[in-house]
Structure formats: C-alpha cells, structure tokens
Structure 1
C-alpha cells in the first residue's frame, strides 16, 4: 500500500474540530458557577415537561381506546410524542445543560469523562425530581384517568417473558446512549447533532413497545 506523499515542508491539514479534554473527576469548582445551577434548572424543567406530555399522552390513549380499539393516537402517536418532545427539549436545553433529560445518558457521559461526578449526581437528582413533579401534575389534572390506568405505568407485553423485556430495555438504552455519543461527537456540527436523537426515539419505540412497553429512560 502506498502512503500519501506531501510536499517538503508542507504541514498535514489541521483538524477542523476541537476534541475537549476529559472533565475533572469531582468538579467541586462548578459549585461556584451560576451556569452550573442554570443547567440543573434546565434538566429539571426539561424532564418535568417530558414526563408530563408523554405520561398524559399514554393515559389519554388508554382512556380513548378503552372502548374503541381504533380510538386515540395509537402506538405511532405515542412514539411521536416521545420522539417529538425529546427533539424539542434537547434542542432547547443543549446549549444550557447538554440536554441529557435521562439518568442513563448522564451516567454514560460520566463514565466517558464528559461530565464530572458532581454534575452527574446532581443532574440525576434534578431529572428524578423533574420526573416526579411532571407525573404529579398529570395526576392533579387527570386524577380519575390516572388512577384508573395505573398512572400509565408500563408492563411486560403478553406472550413475552421478563427476560425478553429486560434484554430489550438493555439494547434500547444502549442504542439511545450510543446515539447521544454519536450526535455529540465534536466532528459534528452542533445544530445537526440533535436530529439523530429524535430519529432514534421515534423508530425503536415502535418495536420496543411490542415487548417491554418501551421504558428506555430510568425516570
């Protein structure tokens, strides 16, 4: 195999991207930054809105299709609700907090040294609190339907074992985190990077809903 020959004294082309250094392990210095607290608020609000819209959509679909199997938005509508909300919220929060909106994503980024331990832990706390508040709002607005349909909680689909559901969740969450890493690769343009996340959330949810009712997110 031949190697590419360059003219004498000519330097190889410079990288057209910047690969950031690893994040500090603890990151205690971030406690002094207002941008850190703003990021926590963004994660809280984004996760609250995500759970509010998606859980309300699931409960609404179950209520409408209770007596009419063709009623409601259907599985496709639920998938669009999840994918559409992720697309909107990640696009809005990306420049503030990175738009994690999912403890699995935050954990993956911490393991890859993209965020510090302090940021990862507090992000997860903010996400869980946002999820709780989002579901509580749904319960306050749709109390009767919420109680009747178990809060829209997912269950393993009939004719599938818990092992199959667990495997599906593992694979689906892996694909989600892999997509996030691919979308946030420094070689990509920042504004182009959010599209793959939406595509991932819309397509696999259609398949995963058949087996494990598509949890994907720990919250």
Structure 2
C-alpha cells in the first residue's frame, strides 16, 4: 500500500525544490510551445485544409520529439513529469508529497499558459484563430 504524505513546507520551499519547479515550468512550456506550434504551423502551411494522414503523422512526430526534449530537460531535476496527470499519479502513489505535487501542478499550468501567450506573440495572433469552434459556442479568448 502506498503511503501518501502531505509534506513539509521547509522541504517544498528549498532551493532544490525551486529548481524542480522551474524545470517543470520550462519543460511544460517547451512541450506545449512545440506541440501546439506544430499544429498551428500545419494549419498555416496547408491554408486550413482538412487534416490528412501525412499531416497527422507529422504533427504526432513533432509532439513526440517535443515530449522527448521536455522529459530530457526535467528528468534529472524534477523527474520530468511534464503532465499534471503524471504528477497526480505519482502523488497518489506516494512517490512525491501532496504539497510538492500541488506546486508542480502550478508550475506546469503556468508553463502551458506562458507557452500559449508566447505562441500568440510569435505567430501574430494565429493561436486565437486556431482555437475557433464551428459548433455555435463563443471563441476562446486567447
């Protein structure tokens, strides 16, 4: 049976912990920037044409390389979780404390938010048009 611990504040706010949070922030930022950026680039290059199998494979390969780089960046520092679901599983399994898991989540979510804003800045606003829906719902305000 896994032993779940909340954790201590002095452990979660040490220099090593801040390095781990920064590693999660950077690795998630890299993954989201490269992954979503590849999908945006595909849409731009094909003039918003329907996704064909070759395009799907190209985007999947970009996501795979982005995940490889993201995990490689954080593996020796924070464990390279990159995904909040992985962090949740490790917290439930007792591999990390609940407090550390929550702080990892914050770093990962902030990393993905910053990546979206960077994509918006780099692409000149294409991110907003990429997240449009055709089902009558309002557009996402990104």
Q: Normalized against structure 2, the TM-score is what?
A: 0.81
- Which residue number corresponds to residue 45 of structure 1? 26
Q: Residues of 2 paired with 1:29 and 1:47: CA distance? A: 25
Match of 1:127 in 2: 108
How far apart, in 2, do the equivalents of 1:125 and 1:144 lie? 25
Structure 1 stretches of at least 4 aligned residues deviating more than 6 Å after TM superposition:
none
- The answer for unaligned runs of 5 or more in structure 2 is 135-142
Q: Where does residue 189 of structure 1 map in the other structure?
A: none
Q: Kindly state the Cα deviation for residue 99 of structure 1 after the two structures are TM-superposed.
A: 0.3
Matches within 5 A, 1:29-108: 29-66=10-47, 74-108=55-89
Cα deviation, residue 87, structure 1: 1.1
Question: Does the Cα contact within 8 Å between 1:25 and 1:113 map onto a contact in 2?
Answer: no
Structure 1 residues 81, 40: closer, same or farther in 2, change over 3 A? same
1:98 to 1:67, Cα distance in 2 relative to 1, 3 A: closer
The structure showing larger relative contact order (alpha-carbon pairs under 8 Å, at least 6 residues apart) is 2
Count of matched residue positions in the alignment of Structure 1 and Structure 2:
132
Q: Distance in 1 between matches of 2:70 and 2:28?
A: 9
- Determine helix, strand or coil for the equivalent of 1:115: coil
Supply the RMSD in Å over aligned alpha carbons. Answer: 2.5
The alpha-carbon distance between structure 1 residues 67 and 54, as it changes in their structure 2 partners (threshold 3 A), is closer
Decide whether aligned partners of structure 1 residues 70 and 113 sit closer, same or farther in structure 2, where only a CA change above 3 A counts: closer
Q: Tell me, in whole angstroms, the C-alpha distance in 2 between the residues paired with 1:35 and 1:112.
A: 22
Q: Deviations over 1:47-95 (max 9, x none)?
A: 1111111111111111112266699x71111111111111122122111
The whole-number CA distance in structure 2 between the counterparts of 1:63 and 1:32 is: 43
Hey, what's the Cα distance between the residues in 2 that align with 1:64 and 1:99? 32
2:43–2:49 Cα contact (<8 Å) kept: no
